[in-house]
């Protein structure tokens, strides 16, 4: 079994212009169309704000794009923000300001206008008002998925999803799940169809990490024995290849300046070397991952005083192969050529007859191509050609699932299962 590992690079403090005022507990997304970071809300020294700011990631110029007129969400902090690629909009939900909120809003990134998707209010069939939640957006099922948070009745441990097209909430709380909490964080491993939830606050500082299957809504505790100290209000991003990166947070001994990675292939934490130049320790900051340049952009937070500095960390990952439950003789090769334009070949080996699926995903976790869909193949060396016509340049993942089968009467019985995910790069 091998897994992604991030080789440390030095931080760079970005020289930005027209900076927002210092703030904590804002939320942010990456807009891949305009190549910019979008930041909403947060808590300033003057109180909560309803501002929307854009950081252009070529010139590093900030711009206040808050609408002057029209409906808009109330000023708030500690809300969630997510990117809806199909509709090119930022979705926000929950938070705290003059009160706790459970409304959902969409900000059109083309027209800079707000639309309310779900009103604020405690009614039957919706989650209670809350802040300090952890939520992700699944672009495949078009669901906003949320776990826990601090409600009008205290900390909760519920799991819900909101479908942004039907505008309906569904309660998916099950018997096996993490304990009640708030101030935790989450990121979406789209190529694995998993929401990864970390840390937070309960009666103390939490240090557990969990995976939620985005299709079955089954929770799995991934927490290893060796791990960072408990903390809350961290920033967490998913950089692909089964790797979650976490910076900072509030710990029992103060704010942290640590950078950690968690491998979903081995369920292990590792500290990432940062060099001498690094951000000050902080919590309540926000960060986004930029797939096209393989870097994390981090803004603001608090270290006793609120901050408005902007930093970038560039990643240098090693080659990756995530294998889970590997039967002897199964193998997935790296595509060749890689990088490619527009045709590449994916090879794999089957030790026995197997039901095989081979699908291509982009960095948002959206399926962009299906080469094999649960098809029965004979044992031996196999290869499939992938032609990326109509797809933009960038990083993609191919996910290979093989189920070894045997004949039991007239039915095929699954004996073993092999899963592997690899990264490939399309350059046009």
Would 334 be classed as within a structural domain? yes
Calpha distance 73→115 (Å, rounded): 9
Q: Which of 147-151, 315-319, 326-330 has the highest mean pLDDT?
A: 147-151
Would 382 be classed as within a structural domain? yes
Residue that has been written with the tokens 């927002």 in this structure:
20
Calpha distance 202→155 (Å, rounded): 8
Q: What is the CA radius of gyration of the chain?
A: 22
Averaged over 315-325, what is the pLDDT? Answer: 47
Q: What is the pLDDT of residue 331?
A: 85
Q: What is the pLDDT of residue 415?
A: 57
The closest of 177, 200, 196, 176 to 186, measured between CA atoms, is 196
Strand, coil or helix: 374: strand
The parent domain of residue 355 ranges over 322-426
End-of-domain residue from the set 317, 345, 360 = 317
Q: What angle do CA 8, 12, 17 make, to 5 degrees?
A: 155
- Give, for 262, the enclosing helix (H) or strand (E): strand 259-263
Would 209 be classed as within a structural domain? yes
- pLDDT > 70: percent of the chain: 92
Q: What are phi and psi of 58, to 5 degrees?
A: -110, -45
Strand partners, 211: 196, 220
- 211-220 pLDDT, tens per residue? 999 999 999 9
Q: What is the pLDDT of residue 3?
A: 38
Q: What is the CATH classification number for the domain harbouring 292?
A: 2.120.10.80
- pLDDT of residue 7 exceeding 80: no
Domain count, the chain: 2
End-of-domain residue from the set 317, 346, 368 = 317
Calpha distance 27→45 (Å, rounded): 17
**Beta strand 254-255 pairing with 250-251:** antiparallel
Residue that has been written with the tokens 């799940």 in this structure:
177
Least confident range of 22-31, 180-189, 380-389: 380-389
Averaged over 169-187, what is the pLDDT? Answer: 96
- 235-252 pLDDT, tens per residue? 999 998 889 999 999 999
Do 84 and 206 lie in one domain? The reply is yes
Rounded to the nearest angstrom, the gap between the alpha carbon of residue 324 and the centroid of all alpha carbons in its chain is 21
Q: Is 341:428 a contact under the CB 8 Å cutoff?
A: yes
The Cα-based distances of 160 to 130, 214, 332, 399 in angstroms read: 13, 11, 36, 27
Do 345 and 225 lie in one domain? The reply is no
Would 1 be classed as within a structural domain? no
Do 219 and 174 lie in one domain? The reply is yes
- pLDDT > 90: percent of the chain: 72
Do 383 and 238 lie in one domain? The reply is no
Residue that has been written with the tokens 């060796």 in this structure:
226
- 394-427 pLDDT, tens per residue? 888 898 888 887 665 455 555 567 778 888 889 8
353, two tokens = 């007859």
Calpha distance 390→386 (Å, rounded): 12
Q: Is 383:345 a contact under the CB 8 Å cutoff?
A: yes
Q: Over the chain, what is the mean pLDDT? A: 90
Do 115 and 231 lie in one domain? The reply is yes
Do 99 and 138 lie in one domain? The reply is yes
Calpha distance 383→332 (Å, rounded): 10
Q: Is 402:384 a contact under the CB 8 Å cutoff?
A: no
Q: What is the pLDDT of residue 416?
A: 67
Do 333 and 308 lie in one domain? The reply is no
Averaged over 334-355, what is the pLDDT? Answer: 91
Q: Is 133:146 a contact under the CB 8 Å cutoff?
A: yes
- 21-44 pLDDT, tens per residue? 999 999 999 999 899 999 999 999
Q: What is the pLDDT of residue 6?
A: 52
Q: What is the CATH classification number for the domain harbouring 402?
A: 2.60.40.10
Longest Cα–Cα distance of the chain, Å, equals 73
- pLDDT of residue 205 exceeding 70: yes
Do 371 and 264 lie in one domain? The reply is no
Do 217 and 253 lie in one domain? The reply is yes
Would 68 be classed as within a structural domain? yes
Do 41 and 138 lie in one domain? The reply is yes
Do 307 and 339 lie in one domain? The reply is no
Averaged over 335-361, what is the pLDDT? Answer: 91
Q: Is 214:195 a contact under the CB 8 Å cutoff?
A: yes
Least confident range of 51-55, 77-81, 162-166, 332-336: 332-336
Do 81 and 109 lie in one domain? The reply is yes
Averaged over 120-131, what is the pLDDT? Answer: 95
Rounded to the nearest angstrom, the gap between the alpha carbon of residue 211 and the centroid of all alpha carbons in its chain is 12
Q: What is the pLDDT of residue 291?
A: 85
């Amino acid at each position: 079994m091998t897994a992604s590992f991030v080789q440390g690079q030095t931080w760079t403090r970005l020289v930005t212009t027209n900076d927002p005022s210092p703030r904590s507990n804002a939320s942010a997304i990456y807009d891949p169309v305009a190549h910019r970071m979008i930041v909403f809300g947060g808590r300033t020294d003057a109180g909560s704000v309803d501002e929307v700011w854009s950081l252009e990631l070529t010139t590093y110029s900030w711009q206040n794009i808050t609408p002057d007129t029209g409906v808009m969400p109330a000023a708030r902090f500690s809300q969630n923000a997510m990117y809806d690629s199909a509709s090119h909009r930022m979705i926000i939900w929950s938070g705290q300001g003059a009160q706790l909120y459970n409304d959902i809003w969409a900000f059109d990134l083309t027209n800079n206008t707000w639309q309310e998707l779900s009103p604020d209010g405690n009614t039957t069939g919706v989650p209670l008002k809350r802040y300090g939640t952890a939520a992700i957006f699944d672009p495949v099922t078009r669901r906003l998925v949320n776990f826990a948070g601090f409600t009008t009745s205290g900390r909760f441990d519920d799991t819900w999803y909101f479908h942004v097209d039907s505008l309906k909430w569904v309660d998916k709380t099950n018997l096996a799940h993490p304990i009640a909490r708030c101030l935790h964080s989450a990121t979406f491993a789209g190529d694995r169809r998993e929401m990864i939830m970390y840390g937070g606050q309960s009666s103390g500082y939490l240090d557990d990490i969990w995976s939620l299957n985005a299709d079955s809504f089954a929770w799995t505790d991934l927490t290893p024995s060796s791990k960072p100290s408990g903390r809350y209000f961290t920033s967490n991003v998913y950089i692909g290849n089964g790797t979650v990166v976490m910076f900072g947070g509030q710990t029992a001994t103060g704010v942290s300046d640590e950078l950690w990675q968690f491998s979903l292939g081995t369920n292990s934490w590792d500290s990432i070397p940062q060099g001498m130049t690094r951000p000050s320790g902080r919590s309540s900051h926000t960060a986004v991952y930029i797939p096209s340049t393989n870097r994390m952009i981090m803004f603001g937070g608090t270290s006793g005083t609120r901050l408005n500095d902007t930093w970038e960390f560039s990643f240098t990952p090693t080659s990756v192969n995530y294998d889970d439950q590997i039967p002897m003789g199964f193998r997935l090769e790296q595509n060749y050529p890689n990088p490619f334009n527009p045709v590449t070949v994916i090879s794999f080996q089957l030790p026995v007859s197997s039901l095989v699926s081979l699908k291509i995903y982009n960095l948002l976790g959206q399926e962009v191509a299906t080469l094999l869909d649960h098809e029965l193949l004979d044992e031996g060396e196999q290869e499939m050609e992938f032609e990326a016509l109509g797809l933009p340049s960038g990083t993609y993942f191919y996910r290979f699932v093989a189920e070894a089968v045997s004949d039991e009467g007239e039915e095929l019985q699954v004996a073993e299962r092999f899963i592997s995910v690899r990264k490939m790069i399309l350059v046009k």
